[in-house]
Amino acid sequence: MFSLKVPTKDQSLRDLQKGGELCGKVKVPGDKSISHRALLFGAIAKGKTIIEGLLPAEDPLSTAECLRSMGVKISPIKKGDIVEIEGVGLNGLQEPEDILNCGNSGTTMRLIMGLLAGQEDHHFILTGDKSLRNRPMKRVGQPLKMMGAKVSGRCDGDLAPLSIIGNKLRGAVIGTPVASAQIKSAILLAALNAEGSTTVIEPARSRDHSERMLKAFGANLEVGGEMGRHITVSPGKELKGQSIIVPGDISSAAFWLVAGSIIPGSELVVENVGLNPTRTGILDVLEVMEANINVINKRDVAGEPVGDIKVFYNESLKPFKIDGEIMPRLVDEIPILSVAACFCNGISQIKGASELRVKETDRLAVMARQLKRMGAKVDEHQDGLTIYGGNNLKGCELDSEDDHRIAMSLAIASIMANSNSTLRRSEAAAISYPDFWSDLMRLRQIS
């Protein structure tokens, strides 16, 4: 017997048409980082948590599914619906009957490691997709072990599948080697269940959504030290269910902010964007580039600053130089900023970005590879990229390499190419922005 292989059309292959301008209003979906935390903290609070604006995308769905497997009741997560969680309290998670699948989501796996470390006598196995099974986890496992956690996994505990046996934890003072909100948040979650207080000291301040939200849930948490790099949690307080409003994700808004700046004739208003200062590095860079960006309607929504952002095309954008200092404030925006750099007058430099190599893909290598296919001049370095602006890009066969932020960055780049492109694995965008392709179609005006 032999079988005849019939070639099937790649469903994820998307045609990307060159040209057109982007005009109108767009409301980006809920912030991914805040959505994960709302689900996780709601799950271990006492009483009901109500979430408005939760991101209905694959990554938060992974977090919700893991929590449901441990006995937490969470209402269906659908676009526009309020989500309700029946919290089980700090020690109320059940041992799941099966492995916990974190999908593509590093935030799910790392924060859940902290959550489970102190769930005494329960055994948990965490895994994820191929990308997640190759991302470093010892950076979380190691500090948790300093608190008494029992964590093991492939490659000396660095790679999933991971095994966690809940144990009695003790407070500790822990310096983290990288400014990572995922590491910090995992330690803070473990600290809620430890004996004695725990202090995390970061080399630079990472996004502070956990600190803000844990305080709102009633945790005993103090932020101190230079630039708020020392965070102390003292256990003993139950978390209380809350009402949370999730602002739009500035990391999703970034695609429109760059598109509006580089595509001739574009004029956009991006509504309801979270403007937490630990996340707004992209706005600082766009200012250096002299992009036409204007933040309006600034307001405070449930403990997070929010605003609308107006952007319109600027034909003479300046190049930029960024290094490790600003990196934690724009770490997820490097792919789209490297697209922006292709359309500046001059050479842009991205340094101190080696963390990008351990994201959903090696984002420095993937962006360099894909942009070079389009004819961009890019030098790849161990910790960054040098990008030469002002070259014309050509349409070609592109590939997201299964990375959501790469898919959306290449989509914006392809509009500026001199011929049409195709994008393989375009469905990756749904990890953080399920409506990206329909929003792009709606905003696009092709004459």
Using CB under 6 A, list all residues that contact ligand S3P: 33, 36, 107, 180-182, 185, 206-207, 331-332, 355
Smallest separation (angstroms) from ligand S3P to the CB of 186: 9
Block residue for tokens 């929504």: 301
* Residue given tokens 């309801």 in the structure block: 272
Catalytic entry in 31, 308, 332, 439? 332
Closest C-alpha to 135, from 179, 165, 103: 103
How many Å apart are CA 245 and CA 327, to the nearest integer?
Answer: 27
Q: Between residues 33 and 272, which has the closer beta carbon with respect to ligand S3P?
A: 33
Question: What is the bridge-based pairing of β-strands 321-322 and 347-350?
Answer: parallel
Determine the Cα–Cα distance for residues 93 and 96; give it in Å rounded to an integer: 9
> For residues 306 and 263, is the Cβ–Cβ distance under 8 A?
no
Per DSSP, the three-state class of 206 is coil
Closer to ligand S3P by Cβ: residue 112 or 262: 112
Distance in angstroms (rounded) separating the CA atoms of residues 113 and 435: 30
Cβ atoms within 10 Å of 34's Cβ, excluding its own = 31
- Which residue lies nearer to ligand S3P by CB, 407 or 417? 407
Q: Which amino acid is present at 445?
A: Q
Report which DSSP code applies to 24: E
Strand 169-170 to 194-195 pairing: parallel
Q: 419: which DSSP letter?
A: S
Taking CB atoms, the residue at the shortest distance from ligand S3P is: 33
Q: Which residues pair with 310 in a beta bridge?
A: 269, 294
**CA gap 75, 73 in Å, rounded:** 7
Quote the CA–CA distance of 283 and 429 in Å, as a whole number: 22
412/404 Cα distance (integer angstroms): 13
Task: Kindly tell me which of 177 and 265 has the beta carbon lying closer to ligand S3P.
Answer: 177
CB of 67 to ligand S3P, least distance (A): 16
Q: Residue 360: helix, strand or coil by DSSP?
A: coil
Q: How far is the CB of 28 from ligand S3P (least distance, A)?
A: 15
- Cβ nearer to ligand S3P, comparing 99 with 204: 204
State the nearest-atom distance from the C-beta of 305 to ligand S3P, in Å: 17
25 is written with which tokens? Answer: 């209003």
- Given the complex with ligand S3P, which of 136 and 157 has the nearer CB atom? 136
Question: Rounded to an integer, what is the distance from CA 280 to the centroid of its chain?
Answer: 14
Question: From the CB of 182, what's the least distance to ligand S3P, in Å?
Answer: 4
In order, the DSSP letters of 92-143 are -PPPPSS-EE-TT-HHHHHHHHHHHTTSTT-EEEEE--TTGGGS--HHHHHH
Minimum gap (Å) between residue 106 Cβ and ligand S3P:
6
Q: Closer to ligand S3P at the Cβ: 139 or 444?
A: 139
DSSP string for 302-317 = TTEEEEEEEEE--SSP
- Cβ 132 to ligand S3P shortest distance, Å: 12
217: which DSSP letter?
Answer: T
| Residue 308 is a catalytic residue | no
The answer to whether the beta carbons of residues 41 and 72 sit under 8 Å apart is no
Considering the complex, state which of residue 58 and residue 355 has its C-beta at the smaller distance from ligand S3P.
355
The least CB distance from residue 288 to ligand S3P, in Å, is: 22
Q: Which residues are catalytic?
A: 332
